[in-house]
């Protein structure tokens, strides 16, 4: 991943992470969810990345998820 992308949130389930990505994309903010969970036990987290210039607005958009 490029250096200008930062993690703004961590999720433990697919649904919430996909909702966050969809909301950000609908508002014109590029977002990527990276699943860092174990493939068998689903232990771990899904990391949500956005470009560093969009961190504040992105956090505001997803604050109620």
Report whether 47 contacts 31 (CB < 8 A).
no
CATH number of the domain at 54, please. Answer: 3.30.70
Q: Give the C-alpha separation, 40 to 1, whole Å.
A: 24
Q: What is the pLDDT of residue 2?
A: 67
Print the domain residue range for 57.
Answer: 5-62
Q: What is the pLDDT of residue 22?
A: 98
Domain count for the chain, please give it: 1
Q: Give the C-alpha separation, 21 to 55, whole Å.
A: 13
pLDDT tens digits for 27-62?
999 999 999 998 888 789 999 999 999 999 999 999
- Identify which has the larger pLDDT, 1 or 60: 60
């Amino acid at each position: 991943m490029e250096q200008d992308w930062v993690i703004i949130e961590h999720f433990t389930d697919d649904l919430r992470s996909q909702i966050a990505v969809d909301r950000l994309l609908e508002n014109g903010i590029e977002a990527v969810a990276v699943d860092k969970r174990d493939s068998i036990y689903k232990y771990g987290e899904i990391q949500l990345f956005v470009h560093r210039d969009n961190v504040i607005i992105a956090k505001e958009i997803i604050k109620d998820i």
